[in-house]
Structure 1
């Protein structure tokens, strides 16, 4: 009898266990189905939004994304001042030395001053990719801004050039963080149709910074004594405090909150950044579901979430894209466009006149950057990016050809004019589109790290160009002058050919759809533009269900 009782007892226990398992599986299935339905609804609603509808609905999100990008205006203002001082008399009197009878900043110090910032930025980029995933963009950028404020004194009160080099390296660490954070944060705050605006705005803020820095140096150019170069350095202290205050009041990225399992906090963020007069609680739940669903699918496909994973599986293609796009902005011909002032001076324009025209060119970042936003909404990111690079080739070939003929005032004027127009083409095609592509292509779980890698490639290639370009343009070892353009014709052509076959069009694609196109579609980059997809009819339901079951069993 005791054995029979034991058997009955075990049978009852097994029934209870099976019932519990069925209950868990049923609960998981219902939760997964609800998540899927809400994610589908949010994905459809995202596509239904027009630009102006989204702008009205997400105006607060746009505001915060643009505020974060103003950090780059501060950075560009700071970085644009030092190179301008190489030709300033008062700065040369303070820190220069006699070279061949002329007072100038020695070449080795010019190289150190220009490259030290990039070296610091690479360090900062490596750090921020790890830090942002742990504490979020809000706290990361706030702490970096506080760190920056403490070391700006190295610029304002230097005793020698070594202190300025040290300041460049140390301040370059937070500068690298800002470069990544502004792109990633902006992308995650707004719907698909606004991503082009907030990421292109990053490029506009860079241009505004270059304009502001050039204008400040120009204003104090003729001030007697050391204040002509010291005051522009002191003006750097105007930026940090207002930006820190903005960071403290800014919302965190909803994608970060969801990744950390803080769903209620993510809902509060969405309520804060959306116009709640025409938004229901169900729409909030749907948007959270789409973010959560995207993260779960990525989590099932990705294992470690480390930098190594950026080079494995389909994420390797994403990393390739953002790094190559970053290289395009350096090796696509823009480097020679940055020498516009030098060519204008060679053409006979006065130093002040050439500097004033350079200010006008930098001001075009706002006008033509906004034009690029409109072009991207009509034609797409990859289309405008590749078109801009091909047009740049035409200008580079023309400049190089003029460099092969006898140099006269008319020829120099023509070269200067081509450089001016080429700069404008870059401003309203390649520059803004690059930030949009780099912001959209990475997966959400690896976005920070992938953008970091793109900026490291950008800075590393910039270091190489900054070493080679002076040798090619001036009377150094090569003395190529305008024929330097031919070298960039070669690199630019190779890059836009790569773009034709490897750069996909992400226009009008939600982050989830971009994930699906990379991971599941099997489509080549050239077929993305016309692909009609149903990204939710792809078997990912099983992947997410498996993920949910693991979570449920863990809870049990």
Structure 2
């Protein structure tokens, strides 16, 4: 058994695989919690009279402030690919943390609506970069047997930030000044600061290092990920296999990623799954409850501010618990089973919610009001069980290394585009359609169910390279390994004859 001495990986990186998994788990929690806090803080602020009165908000300005974050995210999409592919997955996390830190300070110090909107754009810019780089780094580091739950936990911890935001807003609502809304805004800098502190404790993605020709560094990362007390030859074997697949992918797809996505049947299927899933996240009904819970509760007859805040806190606790359970089930039940079960259940609950609001929305019937709240809780639980954990897992898994950053960018662009549209449209649609609005969302979920049933592949417990065979066929791995038998030694001398770098177009 060979011994191992570090030459490239920082001494700050834990020596045991368990310790390193703990650091990666912390990275997932902090980055996802930042997005959850940011998303929830707007819903919570909209409940506070001190906030709405300070900016003199109406339906249009409320939609504009909500949309500002989506605008920032869409702008961030255009820089996430060059940062991730040219400077590394870790650098995206640093850039994201710095931007969120700056935006948070500006948001808390806002003196007018223009300043607030600018701050929201900066924060959105930072969160989208972080939530593209962090799950990619985690996916490219951890083994297939735990990838589903780790990536599932990543976005499930969205509810950690959302819950913290709700609790802080609940506690600050009685502050007799603008600090009742400035304080929840200001405290969002904490996860950004923690993210910057975790930077030295994480290794770089071995797949990114291979793409840069840094084979010895990549081999060392693979050894560290297994635990330095294991046979170091395992790291070399894994490096050869990963490099072989990346080599073959680059050889078969030499053009720019944006062109390759439209060049083969496999890539067109990837593109369809990514775009449809990005649409599903925002249009299956969860957007309304996440961003306009106050309006829903008003329609259900619950108008007291304290009661609304309490419901928001309890709802976030419920969603977080279900999302964690769903994350662990990804590697047990599988992606397809969970997403189909959740979509079917969400469609049913939205039909029920619409019916309850129609019958009891303007009444004082306690049973009807509680029934509406129960339907909302069940719907959010179903969403959290599958859609929430898959948000980070699925787009990263189904893309080959060469296309991964591009696919994630397209996914985020689709997600943000529909989120931006919904932030403007949903508020007016709820106001004018009332209970019919929920029936419309339920019908969309039926269409999403059919889409997932016919087109979404199962990726449970498959390595990232093995997932590629679901689109290109098993001959990808067979040809790559056969071809690489002739030049294993070249891997460690940097003599690969085909560039495996995943450059952005």
C-alpha displacement of 1:413? 2.9
Question: Alpha-carbon deviations, 1:280-321, whole Å to 9, x = none?
Answer: 011111111122112112111211343333333222221221
CA contact (8 A) 1:384 1:433 kept: no
Using the alignment, how far apart are the partners of 1:128 and 1:554 within structure 2? 25
Question: Alpha-carbon deviations, 1:413-435, whole Å to 9, x = none?
Answer: 32221111111111112221232
Match of 1:490 in 2: 443
CA contact (8 A) 1:208 1:365 kept: no
- Secondary structure, in 3 states, of the residue corresponding to 1:311? coil
Question: Alpha-carbon deviations, 1:398-424, whole Å to 9, x = none?
Answer: 223334446532433322211111111
Higher relative contact order (CA 8 A, sep 6+): 2
Match of 1:541 in 2: 482
Using the alignment, how far apart are the partners of 1:546 and 1:273 within structure 2? 25
Question: Alpha-carbon deviations, 1:525-551, whole Å to 9, x = none?
Answer: xxxxxxxxx874457634886998996
Match of 1:365 in 2: 319
Match of 2:37 in 1: 77
Match of 2:263 among 312, 317, 333: 312
C-alpha displacement of 1:552? 6.6
Match of 2:234 among 266, 283, 290: 283
Match of 2:124 in 1: 172
- Residues 1:94 and 2:54 are matched in the alignment: yes
- CA distance 1:553–1:379, shift in 2 (3 Å): closer
Question: Alpha-carbon deviations, 1:331-374, whole Å to 9, x = none?
Answer: 22223443555444433463212321221111123321221133
- Residues 1:511 and 2:452 are matched in the alignment: no
1:258-297 equivalent positions in 2, closer than 5 A: 258-277=210-229, 279-297=230-248
Larger radius of gyration: 1
- Secondary structure, in 3 states, of the residue corresponding to 1:222? coil
Match of 1:139 in 2: 91
Match of 2:23 among 64, 68, 73: 64
Match of 1:301 among 247, 252, 261: 252
Match of 1:380 in 2: 334
- Secondary structure, in 3 states, of the residue corresponding to 2:458? coil
Match of 1:354 in 2: 308
CA RMSD of aligned residues (A): 2.7
Using the alignment, how far apart are the partners of 2:216 and 2:47 within structure 1? 56
Using the alignment, how far apart are the partners of 2:469 and 2:449 within structure 1? 25
Match of 1:184 in 2: 136
Query: How many residues are paired up?
Result: 475
Larger CA deviation: 231-240 vs 385-394: 231-240
CA contact (8 A) 2:244 2:481 kept: no
CA contact (8 A) 1:397 1:485 kept: yes
- Secondary structure, in 3 states, of the residue corresponding to 1:219? helix
CA contact (8 A) 2:17 2:224 kept: no
Using the alignment, how far apart are the partners of 2:75 and 2:476 within structure 1? 38
CA contact (8 A) 1:381 1:436 kept: no
Question: Alpha-carbon deviations, 1:239-278, whole Å to 9, x = none?
Answer: 333211211332111111111111111122223333223x
- CA distance 1:261–1:465, shift in 2 (3 Å): same
Using the alignment, how far apart are the partners of 2:224 and 2:425 within structure 1? 49
CA contact (8 A) 1:58 1:190 kept: no
Match of 2:380 in 1: 423
Match of 1:100 in 2: none
CA contact (8 A) 2:149 2:329 kept: no
C-alpha displacement of 1:493? 0.9
Question: Alpha-carbon deviations, 1:43-90, whole Å to 9, x = none?
Answer: xxxxxxxxxxxxx98424422332322122123213322342234222
Using the alignment, how far apart are the partners of 2:198 and 2:72 within structure 1? 25
- CA distance 1:552–1:234, shift in 2 (3 Å): closer
1:25-40 equivalent positions in 2, closer than 5 A: none
Question: Alpha-carbon deviations, 1:16-36, whole Å to 9, x = none?
Answer: xxxxxxxxxxxxxxxxxxxxx
Task: Give me the TM-score of the superposition, normalised by structure 2.
Answer: 0.87
Could you tell me which runs of 5 or more consecutive residues in structure 1 were left unpaired when the two chains were aligned. Answer: 1-55, 97-104, 522-533
Using the alignment, how far apart are the partners of 2:190 and 2:317 within structure 1? 21
Match of 1:389 in 2: 343
1:94-493 equivalent positions in 2, closer than 5 A: 94-96=54-56, 105-277=57-229, 279-313=230-264, 314-338=266-290, 339-345=292-298, 346-348=300-302, 350-405=304-359, 407=361, 408=363, 409=365, 410-474=367-431, 478=432, 480-493=433-446
Question: Alpha-carbon deviations, 1:109-145, whole Å to 9, x = none?
Answer: 2122111111111111221112210010112321332
Using the alignment, how far apart are the partners of 1:543 and 1:501 within structure 2? 35
Task: Give me the TM-score of the superposition, normalised by structure 1.
Answer: 0.79
- CA distance 1:344–1:82, shift in 2 (3 Å): closer
Match of 2:11 in 1: none
Question: Alpha-carbon deviations, 1:489-518, whole Å to 9, x = none?
Answer: 221111110111110111121122211221
